[in-house]
A and B are shown apart, each in its own frame.
Chain A
Amino acid sequence: RRFRAHNLPASLLANAVAAYEVHAAASSRRNWYAVLAVAGNGDHRSTSTSVVTHDSLKQQYRRLCLLLHPDKNHSAAADGAFKLLRQAWDALSLRHPPGSAAVPPPASRPKPAETPVNRGPPF
């Protein structure tokens, strides 16, 4: 029970960071692949290097739903993050329909942004 009291704020903070990452990915790169590649628990680089299939996208989308849906993520940014996730999923599931060939994702190297991206106060 002590574990619960201790753990709760940490998980909420992780949730908030995950939701924030989605906003950042959408705003700095305007790339739906970047939105869907946001992971929140460390393995987000692995998905962007492997090939993209409908099923891999769907799996990632589902995982992010459990992380970002406002029922699951009580941070203020969750609502907006989930809407971005839906947009990303709608766009990418059309581009990669079920049964389509596996393709490598487009180069998602973050281009140097025209305006410096404010990532919030450092902490």
Chain B
Amino acid sequence: MLRERLRTVGVRAACSLASSGILPARLFFTVVLLFLKLLTHTALRLPQHRLRLRSQQSPQSGLGESRFLGHLLRTVEQACRMTEQLYTVASDSETTGEDKSQMSFPDVAIGIDIGTSNCSVAVWTGHQVELLKNTRNQKGMRSYVMFKDDTLSAGVTGGATQEHGHEERDILSGSAIFNMKRLIGRMDTDEVVQASKNLPFLVQTLGIGVRPFIAALVNNMWRSTTPEEVLAIFLLELKALVEMHLKHPVRNAVLTIPVAFSRFQQTRIERACAMAGLHVLRLMPEPTSIALLYAQQQQQLLHDNMGSGIEKIALIFNMGAGYCDAAVTATAGGVSQIRALSGSTVGGEDILQNVMHHLLPDFDSLYAGQTMDRIKSIGLLRMATQDVIHKLATQEHVEINVDLGGGHKVSKILGRGEFEKVNQAIFEKCEGIIKQCLADAKLTPEDINDVILVGGCSKIPKIRSVVLGLCKKDDSYGGIDPLEAAVSGAALEGAIASGVTDPSGSLDLLTIQATPMNLGIRADGGNFAAIIPRNTAVPARRDMMFTTTHDNQTEALIAVYEGEGKQAEENHLLGYFKITDITAAAKGTVEINVCMDIDATNVLRVFAGVVKPQGQAIPPFIEVRMPTLDDGHGWCGQALAKMFGSTLDLAAVPKKLHP
């Protein structure tokens, strides 16, 4: 009501109304403040701009005057948008009733953890985070979508089945698609996709760098789908569940993602969310959402006079079904600074596949093609193997007796030692991730105060001993639920990023994110020049100078990559664009500035333009939001190389030393 009135009345009218005593004084105060805010907004960018102009050689330099007007306009626009938001919040808190937890926070983002095998959702209720349960009273719901005739149903409500025992068998019938998180945004040349061919549904690859053919069995026919579509259907059902609980529509969400996710995969998650009618407020690497939860617990200890308030270093290790990540975080005063991140695509699924292969080595030769018999026996073997792995967490030896049909039987006693030997490569990878994380954070095991183990695989004794051994600790940090931590952290971040403040101070928290991978461009031949190195605090802005590699080169290609490889082609190509109309000059004399900017919502922008020589008709800096590529980026880099060779190449200019 307040908002509507102000829209029609306007600021000037509000003033005159106030002076004549019609408008209440309090409302007038708000209007004046907002007006002042608008003024300050227009002024705020000025000093930064001045700084840029005055220090042409400093890192902020290079972005020319032409962008200033755009900046100004955007700032005013943003200010206007903000004031509008302000009214919504102010009026809502006035008009709603006493039911605070249900009604007062309609714009607060929910937290979602879409796991490879399990999914959960949590909301900030006004004073704490609450995990929602589905109709079957589960907090962790199986992540899958069942395709049956014309109806699709996701694992949120338990799909088509109502009984627990039947669910798992239905999931493995070939009619359900699962493991979306492992398949999303991957090309058919990807080894993770190759390793997914042993799943009951169809994953076909041609190895040509396009998306794989994924299909579910519906009435003996393969119905093709994409991981995005499956995820969107799942999220749609999840959203309905949340709305049923909260009794109001939900728009914004914070989702957790693996550290190893490329920016391209992140856009796929965003697309799936958009298809489900959810706006992604933040995508949080899983260990960083746990870091936020840890920061909250440390603050709570301080409030209860049990904490010391000094900085605490925690190593967070998260291993689920599809991915494994590690982070080192320094926490004090509610601020959790991510010092290092590392991740890999190994997870429980790989352990499962390894053990399945160990139990029945000649499985692939037993059945030709994706026949019903094969699907059925894969399903039986998978269920039996899963059961064995779970039991091995507490038992030394487990007996397996499973009839796969068609005369194939597996009966064996699997010991824990044998299990660990079979999965040795996976445990070694986990070790590598932790070692890299510690080295990147420049810390030794002695610096670590707490080791936090989360994710389904953290129950495996060998994983625990590997992580604790590397960190020289006897036990892990208690007080964090290994399966609920990620989603709780996401819901906390949802509340914080939505601007919710808590009078008791329980939301005076912050996670300062870091970039998980190097970001840079192709330069000096096929090399990769990192502009924003990994583990840089976000928001971040870095730039680098480049020069031409040919005489009279008038065009240059900026190919943006993300990854750890020294060669550009070993990394993920995010996009490319051309700088044109470079003044013709001898090679090495032109200075081209490439600047990368990541904002708090993790949006990457690349600015590029010629800094020297400054001619008469110098084109403005070009600003491009990444990634620009939509699909088939598997062979884009090669196509570019084939088409242009080195004609559009750039070379990095060593950094000048500033006093």
Q: Are A66 and B46 in contact (CB under 8 A)?
A: no
Task: Please measure, in the bound complex, the distance between the C-alpha atom of A97 and the C-alpha atom of B65, giving whole angstroms.
Answer: 38
Q: Are A76 and B90 in contact (CB under 8 A)?
A: no
Count residues of chain A with CB under 8 A from any CB of chain B: 47
Q: Are A5 and B94 in contact (CB under 8 A)?
A: yes
Q: Are A27 and B50 in contact (CB under 8 A)?
A: yes
B residues within 8 A CB of A77? 41, 44-45, 48
- Among B33, B44, B45, B51, max chain A CB count under 10 A is at B44
B residues within 8 A CB of A16? 37, 40-41, 44
| Residue in A26, A63, A119, A121 whose beta carbon sits within 8 Å of that of B51 in the complex | A26
Question: For residue A20, which residue of chain B has the nearest CB?
Answer: B44
A73: min CB distance to chain B, Å:
10
| Residue in A9, A17, A28 whose beta carbon sits within 8 Å of that of B34 in the complex | A9
B residues within 8 A CB of A58? 311, 332
Per-residue interface assignment for chain B, residues 491 to 520, with 1 indicating a CB less than 8 Å from any chain A CB and 0 otherwise: 001001101010000001010100000000
Task: Please measure, in the bound complex, the distance between the C-alpha atom of A121 and the C-alpha atom of B541, giving whole angstroms.
Answer: 28
B residues within 8 A CB of A10? 33
A residues within 8 A CB of B33? 9-10, 13
B residues within 8 A CB of A72? 496, 510
Interface membership of B624, Cβ < 8 A? no
Task: Please measure, in the bound complex, the distance between the C-alpha atom of A59 and the C-alpha atom of B34, giving whole angstroms.
Answer: 32
Question: For residue B89, which residue of chain A has the nearest CB?
Answer: A8
Determine the main DSSP class of A at the interface with B.
Answer: helix
Known: A5-B90, A9-B86, A83-B540. A76 touches B332 (CB 8 A): no
| Residue in B78, B333, B493 whose beta carbon sits within 8 Å of that of A62 in the complex | B333
Interface membership of A4, Cβ < 8 A? yes
Interface membership of A43, Cβ < 8 A? no
Task: Please measure, in the bound complex, the distance between the C-alpha atom of A120 and the C-alpha atom of B93, giving whole angstroms.
Answer: 33
Q: Are A12 and B496 in contact (CB under 8 A)?
A: no
Task: Please measure, in the bound complex, the distance between the C-alpha atom of A82 and the C-alpha atom of B598, giving whole angstroms.
Answer: 12
Q: Are A23 and B86 in contact (CB under 8 A)?
A: no
Q: Are A70 and B37 in contact (CB under 8 A)?
A: no
Interface membership of B183, Cβ < 8 A? no
A residues within 8 A CB of B512? 65, 69
Interface membership of A1, Cβ < 8 A? yes
Task: Please measure, in the bound complex, the distance between the C-alpha atom of A48 and the C-alpha atom of B51, giving whole angstroms.
Answer: 23
A121: min CB distance to chain B, Å:
6
Task: Please measure, in the bound complex, the distance between the C-alpha atom of A69 and the C-alpha atom of B599, giving whole angstroms.
Answer: 10
Interface membership of A109, Cβ < 8 A? no
A15: min CB distance to chain B, Å:
10
Q: Are A19 and B48 in contact (CB under 8 A)?
A: no
Interface membership of A41, Cβ < 8 A? no
B residues within 8 A CB of A11? 501
| Residue in A6, A19, A28, A69 whose beta carbon sits within 8 Å of that of B600 in the complex | A69
B282: min CB distance to chain A, Å:
9
Count residues of chain B with CB under 8 A from any CB of chain A: 52
Per-residue interface assignment for chain A, residues 53 to 78, with 1 indicating a CB less than 8 Å from any chain B CB and 0 otherwise: 00000110011011001111011110
Interface membership of A96, Cβ < 8 A? no
| Residue in B47, B93, B94, B508 whose beta carbon sits within 8 Å of that of A20 in the complex | B47
Q: Are A71 and B497 in contact (CB under 8 A)?
A: yes
Q: Are B90 and A8 in contact (CB under 8 A)?
A: yes
Q: Are A74 and B44 in contact (CB under 8 A)?
A: no
Interface membership of B434, Cβ < 8 A? no
Q: Are B45 and A123 in contact (CB under 8 A)?
A: no
Per-residue interface assignment for chain A, residues 72 to 99, with 1 indicating a CB less than 8 Å from any chain B CB and 0 otherwise: 1011110110110011000000000000
Known: A8-B89, A62-B333, A82-B539. A69 touches B510 (CB 8 A): yes
Known: A8-B90, A66-B508. A120 touches B600 (CB 8 A): no
A68: min CB distance to chain B, Å:
10
Interface membership of A46, Cβ < 8 A? no
Interface membership of B366, Cβ < 8 A? no
Task: Please measure, in the bound complex, the distance between the C-alpha atom of A30 and the C-alpha atom of B55, giving whole angstroms.
Answer: 10
Q: Are A86 and B51 in contact (CB under 8 A)?
A: no
Per-residue interface assignment for chain A, residues 30 to 62, with 1 indicating a CB less than 8 Å from any chain B CB and 0 otherwise: 100000000000000000000000000011001
Interface membership of B655, Cβ < 8 A? no
A residues within 8 A CB of B37? 9, 12-13, 16
Interface membership of A2, Cβ < 8 A? yes
Question: For residue A17, which residue of chain B has the nearest CB?
Answer: B40
A residues within 8 A CB of B43? 20, 119-121
Known: A70-B539, A71-B600. A76 touches B510 (CB 8 A): no
Q: Are A75 and B335 in contact (CB under 8 A)?
A: no
Q: Are B78 and A123 in contact (CB under 8 A)?
A: no
Task: Please measure, in the bound complex, the distance between the C-alpha atom of A12 and the C-alpha atom of B33, giving whole angstroms.
Answer: 10
A residues within 8 A CB of B79? 76
Interface membership of B75, Cβ < 8 A? yes
Question: For residue B511, which residue of chain A has the nearest CB?
Answer: A71
| Residue in B45, B47, B94, B493 whose beta carbon sits within 8 Å of that of A76 in the complex | B45
- Among A5, A16, A63, A71, max chain B CB count under 10 A is at A71
B residues within 8 A CB of A26? 47, 51
Q: Are A75 and B41 in contact (CB under 8 A)?
A: yes
Interface membership of B30, Cβ < 8 A? yes
Interface membership of B36, Cβ < 8 A? yes
Per-residue interface assignment for chain B, residues 279 to 295, with 1 indicating a CB less than 8 Å from any chain A CB and 0 otherwise: 00000000000000000
Given contacts A1-B94, A62-B332, 18 further A-B contacts (CB under 8 A): A4-B93, A5-B90, A5-B93, A8-B89, A8-B90, A13-B33, A16-B41, A30-B55, A63-B333, A66-B510, A71-B496, A71-B497, A79-B599, A82-B600, A83-B541, A117-B50, A119-B43, A120-B43
Chain B residues at the A interface, C-beta cutoff of 8 Å: 26, 29-30, 33-34, 36-37, 39-48, 50-51, 54-55, 59, 75, 78-79, 82, 86, 89-91, 93-94, 311, 332-335, 337, 493, 496-497, 499, 501, 508, 510, 512, 537, 539-541, 599-600
Q: List, sorted by A's number, 15 A–B pairs whose CB atoms are closer than 8 Å.
A: A1-B94, A5-B90, A5-B93, A8-B86, A17-B40, A20-B47, A27-B50, A27-B54, A75-B40, A77-B44, A77-B48, A82-B539, A83-B541, A119-B43, A120-B44
Chain A residues at the B interface, C-beta cutoff of 8 Å: 1-2, 4-6, 8-13, 16-17, 19-20, 23-24, 26-28, 30, 58-59, 62-63, 65-66, 69-72, 74-77, 79-80, 82-83, 86-87, 117-121, 123
Sort A-B residue pairs by CB-CB distance and give the 8 closest, nearest first.
A120-B43, A70-B600, A77-B44, A23-B47, A9-B33, A27-B47, A27-B51, A5-B90
